[in-house]
Structure 1
Amino acid sequence: MIQAVVFDLDGILIDSEPVWEEVRRAYVLRHGGQWQPDSQSRLMGMSTSEWATYLSQELGVGKDPAEVADEVIAEMRERYEVDLPLMPGAVETVYRIGDGYRRGLASSSPRSLIDRVLETAQLTQAFEVTMSTEEVERGKPDPDVYLTIADRLRLAPKDCIAVEDSSNGLRSAAAAGMAVVAIPHPTYPPQSDALALADLTLNDLSELTMERISSVPDRD
């Protein structure tokens, strides 16, 4: 029986993937690197250290990954201060789901951005547990962040359901043994094999109701 809903942040609660792509693409080109056609899809779900290393070593930025991370995150923070791109109904959905389920958040964003988003959106108190993939050994698609969330909620993964949009996010939640709800981003849709891992696919957050969640079959 599902007892907790674990939300992804980027692409689920905030429409940040276009912002991440714009900021990182411009950063790579500005520092003499070359953006590749599959760069954005590869980056989605990576932890901070993973994507900073990718920009530094594979895309040719040529700076230390720690410096790359600090500079890109600073640009993202500035963008969020000007305009936080909340998904329609995000705040209302989180609070509505809280009427029937415990709530967690598992994000590939760094902790500083997670805290900024939740504070700005007045969602800080809505989640029992929030985790960044920079706080676990491996980022998505590995299951570490979802396994840690379940452990901190003192629940078995099968008693949790994850809400994800990206290929790596869907793979991560499924690998952890959680039930999975997919809400694909129209601009950055997940790969078909990753989408096939979802137990339920919705068009947007308005369709994420307690009734739909309770209809998802047990992972037993």
Structure 2
Amino acid sequence: MLVDSEPVWEEVRRAFVAEHGGHWQSDTQARLMGMSTGEWAEYLHELGVSLSPERIADGVIQQMKARYHRGVPLMPGAVAAVARLAGRVPLGLASSSPRALIDAVLAETGLGAHFTATVSTEEVAKGKPAPDGYLEAARKLGVAPERCVAVEDSSNGLRSAHAAGMRVVAIPHPAYPPASDALDLAWRTLPSLAALTPDILS
């Protein structure tokens, strides 16, 4: 939700699939959103990419790191929203990105100091829409899931946080809007990160 990563992921993975003999499908991007590293690497292999899932993951992640090193595409209002919330509540991050990219983003942006706990879905059994990542973030925070509020912009993210028993604030991504059934799971829907305040979470 902090990084406008989906356009970059789509560009990098689509080019990688084409370069290595695979065939991108019309629903590929929607299916990939929320998958853990192992899950999406296996899926790209199934699309015909002529490399092992391990080599697919490594190749894509290295390209993503290079893109982020040139500049992290933060969502509008992300830095201010984190600063507003960090002074009032402990913050956790449950991301589908691999650990290497989470650490790179937090280091490049200086946001890492605001988060008490961070989790990559490659560190749990299943990626989104399974609740594993959010449950692990709550465990690391030492807070019961039902006392947590998750902020999400994608269908699988909304499903994941809701399945974990959390209240979910939806801030739909304009280019990749959540499916209506996923959006129905939201406790509140906001137009942007600028509207995300501590009072909203009460």
Q: Quickly name the TM-score band, shorter chain normalised.
A: over 0.9
- For the pair 1:170 / 2:158, whether they are aligned, the reply is yes
SS at match of 1:22: helix
Which whole-Å CA distance do the structure 2 matches of 1:138 and 1:114 have between them? 17
Q: Equivalents in 2 of 1:87, 1:121: separation in Å?
A: 12
In structure 1, which of residues 102, 115, 118 is the aligned counterpart of residue 103 of structure 2? Answer: 115
When normalised by structure 2's length, the TM-score is 0.98
Aligned-partner SS, 2:76: coil
Deviation at 1:95, TM superposition (A): 1.2
- 2:184 aligns with one of 181, 192, 196: 196
Residue 132 (structure 2) aligns with: 144
Q: Find the counterpart in structure 2 of residue 53 from structure 1.
A: 42
| Aligned ranges 1:54-69 → 2 under 5 Å | 54-57=43-46, 59-69=47-57
Aligned pair count reads 202
For 1:96, the equivalent position in structure 2 comes to: 84
How much identity, in percent, do the aligned residues show?
Answer: 61
Matched, 1:71 2:59: yes
CA distance in 2, matches of 1:14, 1:125: 16
Query: Which aligned segments of 4 or more residues in structure 1 are displaced greater than 6 angstroms?
Result: none
The gaps in structure 2 that reach 5 residues or longer are none
Structure 2 match to 1:38 = 27
Structure having greater relative contact order (Cα 8 Å, sep ≥ 6): 1
Deviation at 1:98, TM superposition (A): 1.2
Gap runs ≥5 in structure 1: 1-11, 215-220
2:3 alignment partner, SS class: coil
Instruction: Give the equivalent residue in structure 2 for 1:83.
Output: 71
> Per the alignment, in what secondary structure is the counterpart of residue 200 of structure 2?
helix
Residue 100 of structure 1 deviates from its aligned partner by: 1.4
Distance 1:187 1:209 in 2: 24
Please give the alpha-carbon distance, in whole angstroms, between the structure 2 residues aligned to 1:77 and 1:130: 18
Letter in 2 for 1:88: P
Cα distance in 2 between the residues matched to 1:16 and 1:153: 25
The residue that corresponds to 2:172 in the other structure is 184
Distance 2:10 2:88 in 1: 35
- 1:218 is aligned to none
2:7 to 18, 27, 50: 18
The alpha carbon displacement at 1:62 in A equals: 2.5
Deviation, 1:117, is 0.3
**Inter-partner Cα distance in structure 1 for 2:163 and 2:54:** 29
Match of 1:9 in 2: none
Using the size of structure 1 for normalisation, the TM-score is: 0.90
CA RMSD of aligned residues (A): 0.7
